């Protein structure tokens, strides 16, 4: 009998070692980890985050794992839920072209288990790498039909990445890992209807994926079984969640590390919009354009990005996930950081400008997508001048840009000393023998910025 895909993933996860990771892969895992920690520190008091934390306090649970930015500990499951919610709750988390955001589910699940089991920095890095590769391999296998059918890949596929990382840290054997993957698949859930309603359900998707991944690993360790044919079975993930699936992305896992292609976001909005944001900001800067000078903006995008084209603006999520209003806010604020969206999402000037922004499918851009995230932009001013820009693919954030993003986010909760201590710890994570050395820095007692 041929090997099932869950067995292929199980063997990849369990045989991956720190020594297998090239230097650039280790570096990029560190950058993704630091980025996620910064988002968590900023997002812990957002409305949806507070609801999750308040519910955790009400439910109780064994105090064994840290909720980032909070003093009181909670259970492995609830820590993964809270931290995953924080990490995905700003639209600032990492993204892959398959529309999976692997960071929040994978990292949150890994941190929970690593802290509970006192794992090393190397253990954490290799578990995150394994989870990332599992998530993006599944994401590529079902892209784009999974997305077209209304599923949110971060919620559904993120569960597999979380389970892989948790199971790796728990040292599940091959059979247990197969069960872990199967149990992750049967819990995978998450709909994209939030795009239209602008509700809070998306905010908790990664947290739930992280929690379900940890639960899958805990169950598998105890002997609970899951479907070995979870992907290719007659009623498996591929059949239920996609119109077509390409098995070879999973079959080829480990031949190269695709996680180095995961994008860390410079802007707090849908990753599909980032090229257009970069271009309008550059044109605005180069030609000293003010939002009130602009008559019309034309954006040539890909087919999937066009699906996010809406002028509706009732909630913060609409502002971050509706293409036209996102660009309007960026032009009004000359910035794409989270603060710009929090400040402007209820401003009627945004809606007025968004009405003059057209998103169209450009054949050249669409043909290159998704391997390349290109875009074209044309701004027409009220005096008839036109300014154009284009890019063929997204640039990668530099190490210093990632660290500066972390500093800007973390300063909401920590002082400079605490911020730099976390950066230093992540930079040298392979030398950390017990993750508690990093985790303690994420509980801001004595490091919280004084209120003014």
Q: What is the pLDDT along the chain (452 residues), one digit of tens a residue?
A: 359 999 999 999 999 999 999 999 999 999 999 999 999 999 999 999 999 999 999 999 899 999 999 998 999 999 999 999 999 999 999 999 999 999 999 999 999 999 999 999 999 999 999 999 999 999 999 999 999 999 999 999 999 999 999 999 999 999 999 999 999 999 999 999 998 999 999 999 999 999 999 999 999 999 999 999 999 999 999 999 999 999 999 999 999 999 999 999 999 999 999 999 999 999 999 999 999 999 999 999 999 899 899 899 999 999 999 999 999 999 999 999 999 999 999 999 999 999 999 999 999 999 998 888 899 999 999 999 999 999 998 899 999 999 999 999 999 999 999 999 999 999 999 999 999 999 999 987 644 443 33
Task: State whether 205 and 305 are in the same domain.
Answer: no
Is residue 434 included in any domain, yes or no? Answer: no
Residue 119 lies in a domain: yes
The reply to whether 288 and 150 lie within a common domain is no
Of 370, 391, 412, the one marking the end of a domain is 391
Claim to verify: residue 217 and residue 91 sit in the same structural domain: yes
207 and 303 in a common domain: no
- Tell me, yes or no, whether 35 lies in a domain: yes
Sign for the CA dihedral angle at 76, 82, 85, 88 comes to negative
Which CATH number belongs to the domain containing residue 314 in this structure?
3.30.1330.120
Give the pLDDT of residue 444.
Answer: 77
Asked if residue 409 belongs to a domain, the reply is no
Residues 6+ apart with CB under 8 A from 409: 38, 39, 41, 42, 92, 338
User: Does 331 map to a domain?
Assistant: yes
Looking at the fold, whether 113 and 154 belong to one and the same domain comes out as: yes
Q: Are residues 235 and 275 in the same domain?
A: no
DSSP labels, 105-155: HHHHHHHHHHHHTT--HHHHHHHHHHHHHHHHHHHHHHTTHHHHTTB-HHH
Task: Report DSSP letters for 32-77, one per residue.
Answer: HHHHHHHHHHHHTTSHHHHHHHHHHHHH-----EEPTT-SSEE-HH
**Residue where a domain terminates, one of 261, 292, 323:** 261
Q: Is residue 431 part of a domain?
A: no
Q: Which among 261, 281, 312 is the end of a domain?
A: 261
pLDDT at 1 (0 to 100): 39
Same domain? 81 vs 143:
yes
User: How many Å apart are CA 102 and CA 159, to the nearest integer?
Assistant: 9
Domain membership of residue 367 (yes or no) is yes
The pLDDT of residue 181 is 98
Reading the block at residue 204, the tokens are 């908790």
- Residue 431 has a CB neighbour count (10 Å cut-off) of 11
The pLDDT score that the predictor gives to residue 335 is 96
Identify the CATH number of the domain in which residue 10 sits.
1.10.4100.10
Say which DSSP state 337 is in.
S
Which pLDDT score, from 0 to 100, does residue 2 have? 55
Overall number of domains in the chain: 2
Residues 119, 66 contacting (CB under 8 angstroms): no
Same domain, 366 and 217: no
Together in a domain, 177 and 61 = yes
Decide if 218 is inside a domain: yes
CB contact burial 49-64 (16+ within 10 A = b; e otherwise): beebbeebeeeeeeee
| H, E, C per residue of 227-274 | CCCCCCCCCCHHHHHCCCCCCHHHHCCCCCCHHHHCECCCCCCCHHHH
* Alpha-carbon separation of residue 101 from 36, 89, 229, 321 (angstroms): 11, 12, 25, 15
Count other Cβ atoms within 10 Å, centred on residue 1. Answer: 3
Q: Looking up tokens 């920690």, which residue turns up?
A: 37
Q: What pTM was computed for the model?
A: 0.96
Q: What is the DSSP string of 264-324?
A: PPSSSS-GGGHHHHHHHHHHHHHTT--GGGEEEEEEEE-HHHHTT-----SSHHHHHHSHH
Q: Residue 174 has which token pair? A: 């091959």
140 and 164 share a domain?
A: yes
Full domain range(s) for residue 68: 5-261
* Residues 205 and 347 both lie in one domain: no
Residues 292, 312 within the same domain:
yes
Q: How far apart are CA 80 and CA 86, in angstroms?
A: 10
């Amino acid at each position: 009998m041929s090997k099932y895909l869950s067995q292929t993933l199980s063997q990849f996860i369990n045989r991956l070692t720190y020594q297998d990771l090239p230097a650039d892969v280790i570096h990029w895992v560190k950058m993704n980890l630091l980025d996620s920690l910064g988002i968590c520190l900023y997002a812990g008091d957002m409305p949806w985050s507070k609801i999750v934390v308040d519910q955790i306090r009400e439910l109780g649970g064994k105090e064994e794992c840290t909720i980032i930015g909070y003093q009181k500990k909670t259970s492995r499951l609830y820590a993964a839920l809270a931290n995953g919610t924080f990490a995905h709750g700003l639209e600032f988390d990492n993204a892959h072209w398959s529309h999976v955001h692997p960071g929040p589910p994978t990292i949150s699940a890994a941190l929970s288990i690593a802290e509970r089991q006192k794992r090393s920095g190397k253990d954490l890095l290799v578990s995150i790498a394994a989870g990332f590769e599992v998530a993006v391999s599944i994401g590529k296998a079902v892209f784009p039909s999974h997305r077209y059918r209304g599923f949110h890949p971060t919620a559904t596929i993120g569960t597999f990445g979380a389970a892989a990382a948790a199971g790796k840290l728990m040292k599940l054997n091959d059979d247990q890992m197969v069960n872990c993957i199967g149990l992750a698949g049967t819990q995978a859930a998450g709909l994209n209807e939030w795009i239209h309603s602008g509700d809070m359900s998306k905010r908790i998707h990664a947290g739930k994926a992280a929690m379900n991944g940890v639960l899958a690993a805990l169950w598998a360790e105890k002997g609970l079984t899951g479907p070995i044919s979870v992907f290719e079975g007659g009623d498996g993930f591929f059949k239920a969640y996609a119109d077509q699936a390409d098995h070879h992305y999973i079959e080829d896992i480990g031949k190269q590390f695709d996680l180095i292609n995961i994008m860390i976001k410079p802007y707090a909005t849908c990753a599909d919009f980032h090229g257009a944001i970069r271009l309008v900001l550059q044109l605005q800067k180069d030609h000293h354009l003010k939002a009130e000078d602009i008559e019309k903006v034309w954006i040539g995008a890909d087919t999937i990005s066009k699906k996010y084209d809406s002028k509706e603006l009732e909630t913060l999520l609409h502002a971050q996930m509706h293409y036209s209003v996102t660009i309007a806010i960026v032009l009004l604020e000359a910035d794409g950081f989270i603060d710009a969206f929090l400040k402007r999402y209820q401003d009627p000037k945004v809606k007025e400008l968004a009405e003059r922004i057209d998103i169209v499918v450009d054949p050249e851009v669409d043909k290159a997508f998704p391997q390349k995230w290109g875009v074209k932009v044309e701004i027409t001013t009220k005096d008839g001048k036109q300014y154009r820009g284009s890019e063929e693919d997204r640039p990668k954030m530099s190490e210093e840009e990632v660290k500066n993003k972390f500093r800007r986010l973390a300063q909401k909760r920590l002082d400079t000393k605490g911020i730099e201590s976390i950066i230093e710890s992540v930079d040298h994570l392979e030398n950390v023998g017990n993750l508690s050395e990093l985790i303690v820095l994420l509980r801001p007692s004595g490091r919280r910025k004084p209120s003014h």
